[in-house]
Structure formats: C-alpha cells, structure tokens
Amino acid sequence: MSKYKTPETKTHINFIGMRWVAFVVSTLIVLTSIGLIATKGLSFGIDFTGGTLIEIKLDETPDLSQIRESLNNLNLGGISIQEFGTPQDLLIRMPEQPGDEEAQQAAINSIRDVLDSSFEKIDYRRVEYVGPQVGEELKKQGLYAILFSLGGILIYIALRFEWKFGVAAILALAHDAVATIGLFAFTQMEFNLSTVAAVLMIAGYSINDTVIVFDRIRENLRKFKKMELPTLFNQAINQTLARTIMTSFTTMLALIALWMFGGEVIQSFVIVVGTYSSIFVASPILLMIGVERNADSASSHPDAEVVQ
C-alpha cells in the first residue's frame, strides 16, 4: 500500500465521496428549474416587454390599495405598484399603451394627475419609457451577453488548463445560470437587465472559485504522480476550503448589506450558488471526464514526494 507525504490540511472532508448525492441534487435543481421556466415562465420587466416606469418619492406613507384603485380606474391596463426600498418610495409600472409616443405621454400625464391630486408633495425621480422593439432587442442582447460570457470563460479555461477543465467549468456555470433563472421563475421576481447582470456576477464569482480549485488540482497532479485521483481531488478541495469559506463569508456580508439597504432592484444580485458548484459540480465532473497526468512535469516538480 502506498503512502503519500502530503501537505497537512486542517479539514479532511470527503467532498468527492458525496459527489453522487450532489449529482442527484444538482440534476433535480436543473430539471425543476427548466420545468418552471417552461411552465410558469419569467416575469419580464419593462426592460424586455416595453412600457413605462415611474419612480416617485413621497413625504408620507401612502395607502397602496387606494392608489391602485385610483390608477386602475384610468383603464390603462395592468398597472403595478410596489415599494422601492422604503414605504415612501414607490415604483409604478404601466404596460405599453396602444398608439404612438403621444399616447404613451398622455397615459403618463393621467397617472401624474391622479398622484398630484392625492398627495401634496411628490418627487418624480425618473420616468422611463421602453418601446416594444427596444424591449425585444434588450432581451436578445441579454441572452447574447450570457452566452458569450460562458463561451469566453470556456475558451479561457481551455487555454489556461486544458479542454477537459473547460468543459467541467462551463457545465458548472450552466448549472448556476439555470438554477438562478429557475429561482426567478419560481418566485416570479421581476426579470430585468439587473437580473442579467446578477447572472453574470454569479458566473464570475463561480469561475473565480473554480479556477482556484482547478489550479490546486493541477499542481497536485504534478506533485503526486501516483496518488489516486479521488484522493488527490479531495485534497485539493480541502486545501482551498479555507480560502473559499473566507471569500464566501466576506462576499455574503456585502450582499446582506445590499439586501437590507439597496432596494428592490439591487436585491436580485443576492443569489450565490458559485461555491456549491465549484466543490460539488465542477470538480466531480472533471473527475468523471478524467484528466491526463503529465509525467514529465510531475517527475520534475521540485516538491514531488512519493513514498512506496
């Protein structure tokens, strides 16, 4: 039986031993997400569907039910009203109105008349109109942004390591993206341009953690040329676990602050699945695909130590 002199780690968790359970969980997450997207769909914001958004600041706490009733009496379609950060900050969304820009402006003026007659002081922070053609274009551009980002990451990892590392990384990122979009389908939170940025942020966070783990796996492949791959992968994950936990913890502190004080729009950023996928998706997939040992690099590594 071979014994390997390996660097001491404070943790010895058998992550690779739990890979089949993780695969089942991840498969259920992905299939459920796809099912939710196909059946419930996404609640697209006006960025994608077209319409008008009005953000106002009041000097008093309003009665939302009364405002909804007054605005619905205008017969402008399904107008939605929601708090935006504080009870005095409101977002009013109005769907696209039949007609040209003059018809849209007339609808906006009708809403302003109702609000002006209901409150003494109103601060109109922004009034944005997005046409349906612009919305469709933004929807395409958002999809392209996600696909091109994933493709760019695949090319980078394939060049930085080898193609098998790239395949494992991109499958983990696809898992993250589908799970995130599935969560939006389940909760029916508004899916807008900031959500696309959230998906890209998760991809960046996840690939950062995955690269650290992959780099340690590659280093251990060179150092321990006869170590069994499951043991080697486990060691690499445990060696980088402290860094992963600290990075996740500090990131979570910032995200909690954004969730508490950032308002409704920024809250869509507060979804972190990258740490899970780096440990339980990317590394096990790489092990399943198989990696080639570089015998020359291993034997020439200055720290290579093998005891038979």
CATH number of 51-130: 3.30.70.3400
Would you mind telling me the total number of residues written for the chain in this entry? 308
**Per-residue pLDDT of the chain in tens (308 residues, 90 and over written 9):** 334 444 455 667 788 888 888 889 889 989 999 999 999 888 887 777 778 888 888 888 888 888 888 888 888 877 878 777 777 888 888 887 777 778 888 888 888 888 888 887 888 888 887 766 666 777 788 788 888 888 888 888 888 888 888 888 888 888 888 888 888 888 887 787 777 877 777 777 778 888 888 888 888 888 888 888 888 888 888 888 888 777 777 766 766 666 666 555 455 555 556 667 777 888 888 888 877 765 444 344 444 444 33
Q: Where in the chain is the domain with CATH 1.20.1640.10?
A: 16-43+135-300
The alpha carbon dihedral of 236, 238, 240, 245 has a sign of positive
Fill in the amino acid letter for 214.
Answer: F
Tokens of 106: 């007339």
Q: Where in the chain is the domain with CATH 3.30.70.3400?
A: 51-130
Fill in the amino acid letter for 39.
Answer: T
* Beta strands 80-84; 51-58: pairing state: unpaired
Distance of CA 116 to the CA centre of its chain: 39
124, 90 contact by CB (below 8 A) = no
Q: Which of 177, 237, 174, 167 is nearest to 209 (CA)?
A: 237
d(CA 68, CA 111): 11
d(CA 226, CA 290): 15
Check: pTM over 0.95? Answer yes or no: no
The structural architecture, per CATH, of the domain 16-43+135-300 is Up-down Bundle (1.20)
